[in-house]
Structures are given as C-alpha cells and as structure tokens.
Amino acid sequence: MKLTWFGHSAFRVDIDGATVLIDPFIDNPTFQGDREAAFRGATHVVLTHGHDDHTGSTVEICESTGATLIANFELCNHLAGFGVEEMSPMNTGGNVYFGPFSVAFVPAWHSSGTVIDGKPVYLGNPCGIVLMAPGEKTLLHMGDTDIFSDMALINEIYAPKIGIVPIGDRFTMGPKLAAMACTRFFDFETVIPCHYGTFPALHGTAEDFVARMQDTPTGVTIPVRGDAIEL
C-alpha cells in the first residue's frame, strides 16, 4: 500500500487494482505539488462526511477520472446534483466490496452538512472509513471525530493496524485526546495525524501528538505532504 497525504484530511491510497482518494480537499492552503497529478488515475473517492473541507474537489475528480463516489446516502444524492454519476451509497453497519478492496463505515462524533444560498443542508451522519484489501494492513481513517468509548468496538470488529487520526482540536480531538484514543481503544501499529496546521484555528500540533505517543508501542508517521510512503 502506498499512502500520500495532501494536507488536512486528504489522502491517496494506491493498492493493486485501485487508487482511492479519501476526503480530497486538494485545494487546502497547505497542499504542495501538482493538483491534477494528485488525483490522476483515481478509481474511487471515499468521503467521511459532507463538510466542504472534506468533500473538496470530489465533483471535479469524479467527472475527470470516472471515479466511483463512496459516501453516505444523503451525501451521494447531494453530489449527484452537481454532476457526479458513478456512486455507491452506503452507511454504518455495512461492508461493500469494490473488487480490489472493501469499505466499511463506522461511527464518528461530529456533524455533516453545508450551506447553499444561505440555507443549511443536512448531509447524513459523519463516519470513519475502514479500508480493507487482500495482502494489505487494514486502514482506519477516523474522519473528524471526538473520542468515544465505542472506538473499542471498532477495534474489536475490524482490528485496523494503520490509523489516520485528527489532532487539530476545536472541531476534532486535539493531541491529548487523539493519543488517548489511539492507545486506549486501538492496537495500531502505525498512526498518522491529520486535520491540523491547515487553518489558524487548528492549533493542535504533530509535535505535541508525537510527544504524547512517545512511550507507547505504536509508531507515529508524519508524512511529507505530497510524498508517497509505503505501509
């Protein structure tokens, strides 16, 4: 598995037979590199929830690559109105197979919606994403979330070994709660912090998170934005 972080919560996952983009907010203020190269060859786009800093360039990516959108029912219907044609709606509790990989949605404590013409639009429940592929370690992208005790149940059911965890604070866990979630409820081999450093309001730092994980058996990887890493 190759994993590329584009800043914020946007990731590219390359596995045999598929290229999956998660929460492709490619045009975030910290993005580095060629934006079109970032999503070239995408086969699927998976969204944790409907906030604009996570849906990002989904419509453009799906239209230019033919990628299939994987998101909750409400979010799929919403983005269909903006031109997305190929989609696979789902929700928590399901496990859907897409050939080279499968996806399960798990709960996240957050919100999900947008504003159109000054009016709020509900976009379903926020989720975390479990991505599973033969011969690869199971990956959990937590989405935007607070800590909650049922994370232990997610670990029991799916046993993810790679965790992508938000640490920015204010809208999600900060470094303290993120470290607590990773060590108390999961058995990760590697964790990758995200959703920090994008905007001034997100004051949680990777340095703080690393320090809080220092005396644990879980490794912390801080990718360089735009550089693929092997996991």
Burial 23-51 (b: 16+ CB within 10 A, else e): bbbbebebbeeeeeebbeebbbbbbbbbb
Q: Which positions of the chain have pLDDT values less than 50?
A: none
Taking only the tens place, the pLDDT of each residue in 114-157 is 999 999 999 999 999 999 999 999 999 999 999 999 999 999 99
The whole-angstrom separation of Cα 144 and Cα 48 is 8
User: Does this model's pTM top 0.75?
Assistant: yes
CA gap 14, 27 in Å, rounded: 20
**Residue reference for tokens 């991505």:** 131
CATH superfamily of 2-222: Ribonuclease Z/Hydroxyacylglutathione hydrolase-like (3.60.15.10)
